[in-house]
Structure 1
Amino acid sequence: MTIRGENRRRLTFGASMLAIGASFAAAAPAYAQTAGQPNDTPAEEAGAGESGNENEIVVTGSRIERAGFDQPTPTTVVGNTEIRQAAQPNLQQVLNEQPQIRNTSNPAGTVANTGSGTAPVDMRGLGTARTLTLVNGRRFIGDNNLNFVPTNLVERIELVTGGASAAWGSGAVAGVVNIILNDDLEGFSLGANTGISSRGDGFRYGFDGSFGTHFADGRGHFMVGAEYVRDKRIGPNGMNDRPWYGADFVNIGGGQLELQPNINNNLIVAGQPVTLGGTILTSSLAGQLFNPDGSLRPATAADAINVYETINVRSPLERIGSYARVSYDVGAGATIWADFAYGRTRVNQPFLPDTSAIALNISATNPFLSQTIRDQLALAGDPGFLLGRLSGDALFLQFEAERETFEGAVGIEGSLGGGWKYDAHFSHGQIKSKQFMRNSAISANLARAVNAVQTPGGIVCAVNADANPANDDPACVAFNPFGVGAPSAAAIDYVTGTQSSFSTSKLDSAAVRLQGSPFSLWAGEVSVAFGAEARWEENIATNGELDRQGASSIFGTPLYRNPTSGRTNVKEGFGEILLPLLDTDQVKFELNGAARYSDYNRSGGIWSWKVGGTARLFDSLLLRATRSRDIRAPGIGELFSVSGLNIRNVVDLDPPPGAVDGQNGYDATPTIRLLTGGNPNLVPEIGKTWTVGASVSPSFLRGFNLSVDYYDIKISGAIQAPDTRDLTLNCSQGDAEACARITRDPVTGTITEVRAQSANIASLQTNGIDIEASYLLPMSSISSLPGSLRFRVLANWTDKLLTQTPTCILLNSCLQPIGSVGDTVVGGAPHWRGTFSTTYQSDALGLDLRVRYVGGGKFNEAQTNIVNNDISSRIYVDVGAQFKVMDKFTFFGNVRNLFDRDPPLAIQLGGTHYDTIGRYFTAGVKLDF
């Protein structure tokens, strides 16, 4: 196969469903390539791959390079056309819109999550750690963070949608994302773009540049490129123009619930609402809240606060990605190369109020109270009261993170004669991460500062008025909690501090591979590939000075408690063989097998393997099937990571004695802080995958391709942090370690925090069908117009996505979340997702139309008492255009969600499945020299 202008480039193509998009900004027509069929390329290019063209073809689903695409492992390509149509700030958000990828992580879903600033991919919804990401077929440091990859250098992205551990090693249980960069770049280009929502928020801008040239009479090549993107946040006020946020239930009687928009999921303590200025929760004045001037009035429903109403709609992001490469043909069929990559991401955003300081014990003689209030309390005989205050003015957490990566690699590739080829490389990379949680409440300081007394010199902390000097704290500043804006700046400084974490992760990787044909069978040459790989990973972590004080931490919400460091390594050998068994004019049949042995220093040796076959019938129909055993070893972060913080709704299966939901402040399903961390005793997961499919390219409809593939994936020993149900159930059965990981409110008994350590406790299962259809129509075949039309459909139907743990099996409560699309359903997703796109492309003009379909379902399949449980599907329309001026300037624009289609009433926070931002405009320019 020949691709115009690509004769020197080593290409990496997927095995079953390929579509190479148009080059950015209308440089050339867009051609779709489906595995095994060259009949959708232009007439002057068709069939070159079958007639001995010297291009090397690497199939991402395999380690055997072949001129041809008859491979059993399903693969889909996302080309420049799809990247352009998505108009997103990074590759992750482009891929999140592909039907095979679940939108697990996105800027709208990480607004109160320390994962903000990362951009991992989650294929099949099996978790981001089970998708292996590669750049040019090589692992890279960054833990699946696509923010580090410069979009402007990407030629295409190949999605291997079947198990591929035998070919690529650990992590490829759900599949592989292989990002292919344009390593044959010629010329110099500069670009700029900007975007904004139709509501005037979500402003974004970016710049990019690249340069490439050949030297030494074409034997050498050098290229460099970089990209900068600044994506501004959408703050809490963004909810005002987006009424679908904050959906919640109202009890309409008879046990029936109705989902309504913007109904507060209020914070309730001791039966009273928590407010920003503070509500008296107990005593004779219970139900009164403080005005900004310190006076009281009765609290109303409008005063109640939902934590979600105080946080961003969309996280901000600043990122830099860069890449440079030099290669040189040293003769004797060998080319040496070296590359270097640098990336950086920064996030600085309001997080959420520190929920550890919601309930404050107040003395009835506190001098910040007015004399009238003190008199009322004294008359009633109240010694004090509990104050419910969501301190947005004093204790609002601010999350700041910087992640910086450096990576370099050297390698050689070439031929030995007789059709044998080789390649080898060594790479070293590291990522340095700094995280800060500012404005964190220091529990002991807050308790001292709230306990204020009157002295002749003014209001001071009681510890400093005590007759015993040993109790004094000269730094203590009395804290006034009565009303919004009441605390002084000095008091805020005293009661808050910054939690901090510093870590460095390192990856060294070496690999060598040899491929050739040792002999022939009756149906053709037997191809083999074999080699060895080794990886060494290390994580070094420390925390801040304040984090290291005390038995665990001095903070009310301790995040970076016990940083851990460690090392792990693996040595692997792999082999693959292709056996042609039948080759006639009408039928071609091949078998493919691969195996890999991995020896991990922490868990020992383990095998992965794959067996597959293809049958091509009548040169139009390709049948394929694979069976594989795949593995995923625990990542360095899972083994040694510091704690991550999430805010999550939980179910308490071990209520305190006598506790009744809704009585005396006890909540059986509270919103809690979930802290997760690493476990050095983890072992590899094991996956079993079936794929069966077919690809049709009829000769009577040149340019048309259709692929349908069924997949079934089962994973045992899956690594997962136990949820509160697991821990509370185990605690109720006498597990002291589980009990120690649960923190309860000392007054109400409600769970406030859970600390979970990852373990091999789960099993996962999913199955479904992938569909792809494409059609390329040269305009010359129907008119005198230049250019071409390309049509493409991608769709996925998921039948099952089930996670099971010992707890849910014991309780017979393992739910099938597919078909549940409400935000509160963990793992929920619609059965159907798909995209339809059409592109007109000529040398001077490009026009794009894309339709995204997201299926509906139930808000929650398991909850039958919701009267409006049905959630309808959504269709979003995107349009774009590019035009070239003077062969140098390319102007482009895009409108996402052209008709500003609202999401369904299923959004509480994040909006995993549907477009929650609304209509969004992007425009830019590119200059080529």
Structure 2
Amino acid sequence: MQSSRNEFRWLKTTRGSAIALAAALACAGTASAQAQPAPADAPETEQADAGGEIVVTGSRVERAGFDAPTPTTVIGDVELRQGSRPSIAQVLNDQPQFRATSTPASTTGNTNSSASTADLRGLGAVRTLTLLNGRRFTGSADLNSVPMSVIKRVEVVTGGASAAWGSGAVAGVVNILLNEDLEGITLGADAGISSRGDGFRYGFNGSFGTKFADDRGHFMIAAEYVDDQGAFDRLSRPNLGAGLFSLNGRLTLQPDVNVASAAPGGLIMSGVLAGQVFNPDGSLSPFGYGSVVSPNSPTTLPTSMLGGAGRSQNDYLAVSSPYERINLFAHASYELNETAKLWIDGSFNRMESDFGFFPDVRAVSPATPTTAAAGGILIQRDNAFLSSAIRNRLIAAGQTSFRMGRFLDDIGELGILNYAYKRDNIEGAIGLDGEIGGGWKYSAYFGHGELKNRQALQNQRITANFNNAVDAVISPTTGQPICRIALTDPTTLCRPLNLLGYGNASAETVAYAFGDGGNTTVTKLDTTGFSVRGDAFSTWAGPVSVALGVEARRESIETTQVDALSRQGALGILNFSALDGSFNVKEAFAEAVVPLLDIEDTATLELNGAARYSDYSNSGGIWSWKVGATSRLFDSLLLRAVRSRDIRSPSITELFTTRTTNIQPVTDPFNGNQVVTVFRYGGGNPDLVPEIAHTTTIGGSFSPKFIPGFSLSIDYYRIDIDKVIGSLSAQDIVTQCFRGNTGLCDQIVRDSTGAITTVFATNLNLASYKTRGVDFEASYQLPLDTVGAGLPGSLRFRALATYVDTLLINDGVNTYDRAGDVGDNAAFTTPKWRGTGSITYQSEDVNVDMRMRYVGGGNYNSLQPIVNNRINSRTYFDLGAQFNIAERFTLTATVNNLFDRDPPPIAYSSAIYDVMGRYFQVGAKVRF
């Protein structure tokens, strides 16, 4: 145990958060389409580069004026600065098409803590392909790895795009484009804090760019440091202690649900002393039960209650996890001649954290008077730490032992379970872009990246040692407490553990009975590709443009270290395992744009088709394709439609990841809807096969000439996914087992009384997902000098909304609709409506933003018979200002959730509602 603790001692000195798979460029090609996208897809001022053209992520074809049939939304300067978000993932989460599945605030009790990913449609981040400058990169698993200071814009393709970009583009593509043409020096700093006085975050960033070799070469480098100290005050944030409460078999959502079968210091749950809690000096006092306990029955022990002196395991969780990160990115390019440019880039990312997770709770399970209570901690009548008065009462009652429920929240220096990790990722890529004559262009690249991931869950029970230490007696020779095992084994290292009262565990006993588990893994990514694009020939309506290419990549994961206790299976919460594996894929793709009609100023019609063949070493060959069409009428109306077959192969983490753990409250319909807190364990599965999705998108955009500066787009989407890879929430597994899915019942572990203790949620190929919805986007740019001569600046109005009609989940036995489920215990929490609207005033010296974020309400969980199941909607307002001084200095100030709108009732955390509350942030930047 001591060696295990030393192995992870370095983790205890860090601070921060997030499980980070870091970043850089492990490319997927630079053959992106140059075009003017539909005006409704983004404001014109944000679309254009210096040359008036931008990359269109919805296609690999390169041709000016080409309208991709797949809708694309651009997130530009205004959206990037609104809210002063610390990572690009959290910028994306403000957009209605995304769900904040993984953020510092939504994974506070999870070994994925603080990771920030992009999750389009709420179908899971793994179904959104995230690119950096059009290339795959390992940092897509945690977008904290991308320096915010050098992001130029983000293009979001809200539809299937596997044929163009490869596996993973089921819900869409997010392409993060960096400003690689930076010149000069820029330095910045910012800081923020919540209105509760927690959540303090500060950061520094800087960049430098210059040309060289008579402007044939360019070099840039950027660095970023962020220290987020986390938010821990759950009590001052209304509704964060809420949860489901069962009374007479009826479930209700209540604001303060606590455990009634365990307490700090120890709560006696059986025999003549039941209902008494140990004081720090070992005496007893009545436990402060809440206003209502459940189950409220003379024949069953209570497990939960409203209010009272008890606690919930969630009370110990952070509101937002702390983390510390360092990012470094560099890029250099050099024009070898007039037709070829060599480029190279690299990045380093470090993400680390060390913070209190949650306490181990040894709760007593329900039981009848004729059945001994199980679970908890068994205390014998001759326990060395029992007072004579308590022992005499047990003797008088003829009782030889009792069961005690206890929060292990006072163990050693750490107190509760502690999670610590450090992720280091270093990656580089090199490529060559050029022309080969006749207007044809080519791109070639190679990239390699390595992520070293060290993590530890500290202060765990060593099961056998803990049980021996708890069973303490008085030594017949010394009269001092010893472990009972020492009576027969004088050489034992066991030291007696006093859990009868808060804070009585000695340091030497903690060293014997508790230990750390952890492992170190190395994930590698190698990727390479070559592509060409150009005009093959012309028809009566214009040139037929094509893109052709081949790509290959190899991903692997290797466990280089596992602690000795985990290898023995000795730990009581999480035994880390050694999982190793790899896969590779070879791909070829082709795409073409065929114009069929071109009547100047009247109508155009183009067909767009693409196909990709992928050969995976672990699952074989598979095709993806798309067919689409666009028609522009009178230069004002663009109509588009696309049908695609998209794939998603199992990721390296889904195939081979070690076990993940978190805690979740679960309602057990098998036991009268009793609410218990359980451990949910996830993990990889090497037998997974690729998902197959079919996506249909139909819509268009309208930019009338009679309203200059206005644009509107509406797009309907339909996504059907088969052989889905994923895992369910603990509650969904229990509920679907109750509804007849016996396969899921095998993933539930119960104790001897039938109470649920553990739910396994290993990745599986589930049956199917089906989702339908509509995206809306509107913008209007109003130069104020058109209102009144001499008025400076302009007003910009923009609104985005998404309506989700259905989100059908078929687990093989039952089909249920998750659209409109918004509770934190339901998988795929997806409100029917989400929207953002903003008004921005822009001038040379001042920019002011007012933004509204709307999250629709719905059912807490439609699969559960909850009396007050309805959750109301929430509307948040953000206010920001930016002041430019003397062309070199910029000052910013932001207030998010201006009116401090409370979250709805939440037992754990929320992926869709704001749990932080009002948050202030200021910043400054100087340019040389």
- Tell me whether the two structures share a fold, i.e. TM-score over 0.5: yes
In 2, Cα distance between equivalents of 1:354 and 1:387 = 14
Q: Secondary structure at the match of 2:564?
A: coil
Structure 2 distance, partners of 1:275, 1:824, is 24
Q: 1:891 is aligned with what amino acid? A: L
Does residue 1:376 correspond to 2:383, yes or no? no
Give the Cα–Cα distance (whole angstroms) in 2 for the partners of residues 10 and 155 of structure 1.
16
Choose from 409, 412, 427 the match for 2:447: 427
Please list, as runs of the form range in 1=range in 2, the aligned pairs for 1:576-615 lying within 5 A after superposition. Answer: 576-585=591-600, 586-615=602-631
1:348 to 349, 354, 372: 354
The superposition leaves residues 690-724 of structure 1 with CA deviations (integer Å, 9 ceiling, x where unpaired) of 00011001111111111110000010000123666
Corresponding residue SS for 2:45:
coil
Structure-to-structure mapping, 1:202-213, within 5 angstroms: 202-213=199-210
547, 553, 575: which one aligns with 2:590: 575
- Bigger shift: 724-733 or 570-579? 724-733
Cα 1:676/1:823, change in 2 over 3 Å: closer
| Cα distance change, pair 274–820 in 1 and its aligned pair in 2 (3 A) | same
Seq. identity, %: 48
Counterpart CA distance in 1 for 2:887 and 2:878 is 26
Matched residue count: 862
Task: Give the aligned CA root-mean-square deviation in angstroms.
Answer: 2.5
Which residue of structure 2 lines up, in the alignment, with residue 849 of structure 1?
850
Report the CA distance shift for 1:675/1:356 in structure 2 as closer, same or farther (over 3 A): farther
> Cα deviation per residue 1:620-650 (whole Å; 9 max; x = unaligned)?
0000000000000000111111001022244
Q: Does 1:781 align with 2:795?
A: no
Instruction: State whether residues 122 and 131 of structure 1, in contact with CA within 8 Å, keep that contact through their aligned partners in structure 2.
Output: yes
Describe how 1:306-385 pairs up with structure 2 within 5 A: 306-355=312-361, 359-385=376-402
Give 3-state SS (helix, strand or coil) of 1:129's partner: helix
- Separation in 2, partners of 1:344, 1:694: 42
- 1:389 is aligned to 406
Taking the TM superposition and a 5 Å limit, the aligned residue runs for 1:631-650 are: 631-650=647-666
Instruction: Give the corresponding residue for 1:901.
Output: 901
Residue 733 of structure 1 deviates from its aligned partner by 9.8
Pairwise CA distance, 1:460: 3.6
For the residue of structure 2 that corresponds to 1:242, the secondary structure is coil
For 2:912 and 2:89, the matched residues in 1 are separated by 15
**C-alpha separation in 2, matches of 1:598 and 1:248:** 46
| Correspondence for 1:25 | none
Note closer, same or farther for the CA distance 1:250–1:739 as it changes in structure 2 (3 Å cut): closer
Q: Residues 844 and 925 of structure 1: is their aligned pair in 2 closer, same or farther, counting only changes over 3 Å?
A: same
Establish whether residue 267 from structure 1 lines up as the match of residue 259 from structure 2.
yes
Distance between the aligned counterparts of 1:734 and 1:488, measured in 2? 47
The one-character-per-residue Cα deviations of 1:797-852 (angstroms, maximum 9, x if unpaired) are 11111221124x2xxxx331222322233223221111111212222211111111
1:744-783, aligned counterparts within 5 Å?
744-746=750-752, 748-783=753-788
Q: Report the CA distance between 1:558 and its aligned residue.
A: 2.5
Structure-2 residue corresponding to 1:499: 517
After superposition, the Cα gap between the structure-2 partners of 1:62 and 1:11, relative to the gap in structure 1 and judged at 3 Å, is closer
Q: Does 1:873 align with 2:892?
A: no
The 3 A distance-change label for structure 1 pair 147 and 751 is: same
2 CA distance for matches of 1:490 and 1:68? 74
In 2, distance between residues paired with 1:859 and 1:14?
43
Deviations 1:152-195, CA, capped at 9 Å, x for gaps = 00000111100000000000001111000001111100000000
State the one-letter code of the partner of 1:163. G
Which deviates the most, 539-548 or 602-611?
539-548
Structure 2 residue 629 is matched with structure 1 residue 630: no
Instruction: Name the residue aligned to 2:718.
Output: 712
> Whole-Å Cα distance in 2 between the matches of residues 277 and 150 of structure 1?
46
Tell me: CA distance 1:733–1:831, structure 2 relative to 1, closer, same or farther (3 Å).
closer
The answer (yes or no) to whether the contact 1:425–1:512 under 8 Å persists in 2 is: yes
Contact 1:570-1:599 within 8 A present in 2 as well = yes
Q: Which residue of 2 aligns with 1:522?
A: 540
Residues 768 and 804 of structure 1: is their aligned pair in 2 closer, same or farther, counting only changes over 3 Å? same
Change (3 A) 1:324 1:766: same
The one-letter code matched in structure 2 to 1:604 is G
Report the alpha carbon displacement of residue 782 of structure 1 after superposing the two structures with TM.
2.2
Structure 2: gaps spanning 5 or more residues: 1-30, 290-307, 365-375
Is the CA contact 2:33–2:62 (under 8 Å) kept in the aligned structure 1? no
Q: 1:31 aligns with which of 21, 37, 45?
A: 45
Secondary structure of the equivalent of 1:405?
A: strand
Please report how far the alpha carbon of residue 871 of structure 1 lies from its aligned counterpart in structure 2 after TM superposition. Answer: 2.7
Ranked by relative contact order (alpha carbons within 8 Å, sequence separation 6 or more), the top structure is 2
Shift of 1:607: 0.1
Query: Contact 1:817–1:828 at 8 Å: present in 2 too?
Result: yes
The AA in structure 2 aligned to 1:449 is A
Contact 2:33/2:59 (8 A) holds in 1: no
Deviation (angstroms), 1:14: 8.5
Tell me how far 1:461 sits from its aligned partner.
3.2
What are the superposed Cα offsets for residues 450-497 of structure 1, whole Å, 9 maximum, x if unpaired? 11111243534334531444xx412x2110001111212221221110
CA shift, 1:602, in A, is 0.8
Distance 1:239 1:723 in 2: 23
- Displacement of 1:17 after TM fit? 6.2
Per mean C-alpha deviation after superposition, the further-off stretch among 60-69 and 597-606 is: 60-69
Structure 2 letter corresponding to 1:473: T
Structure 2 residue matching 1:445: 3-state secondary structure = helix
From 444, 465, 473, give the equivalent of 2:492. Answer: 473
Tell me the residue number matched to 2:482: 461
2:903 is the alignment partner of 1:911: no
Question: Is the alpha carbon distance of 1:285 and 1:840 closer, same or farther for their aligned partners in structure 2, counting shifts above 3 Å?
Answer: same
Q: Tell me, yes or no, if structure 1 residue 304 matches structure 2 residue 310.
A: yes
Tell me what 1:511 maps to. Answer: 529
Secondary structure in structure 2 of the residue aligned to 1:390: strand
Measure, in 1, the Cα distance between the counterparts of 2:94 and 2:247.
Answer: 37
Task: With the length of structure 2 as denominator, give the TM-score of the two structures.
Answer: 0.89
Q: 1:356·1:557 contact (CA, 8 Å) conserved in 2? A: no
Match of 2:506 among 468, 488, 493: 488
The one-letter code sitting in structure 1 at the alignment partner of 2:535 is: S
Q: Alpha-carbon deviation of 1:755?
A: 3.0
SS in 1 for 2:318: coil
- Following TM superposition, by how much is the alpha carbon of 1:744 offset from its aligned partner in structure 2, in angstroms? 2.3
Cα distance in structure 1, aligned partners of 2:882 and 2:888:
13
The equivalent position to 2:151 in structure 1, one of 145, 150, 154, is 154
Classify the secondary structure of the residue corresponding to 1:806. Answer: coil
The 1:15/1:106 distance shift into structure 2, 3 A limit, reads: same
Picking from 557, 579, 602, the partner of 1:564 is 579
Contact 1:206 1:228 in 2 (8 A): yes
Using the TM superposition, give the Cα deviation of residue 927 of structure 1 relative to its aligned residue in structure 2, in angstroms: 0.5
Bigger shift: residues 63-72 or 868-877: 868-877
Counterpart of 1:687, as a letter, is A
Is the CA contact (8 Å cut-off) linking 1:353 and 1:397 kept in structure 2?
Answer: yes
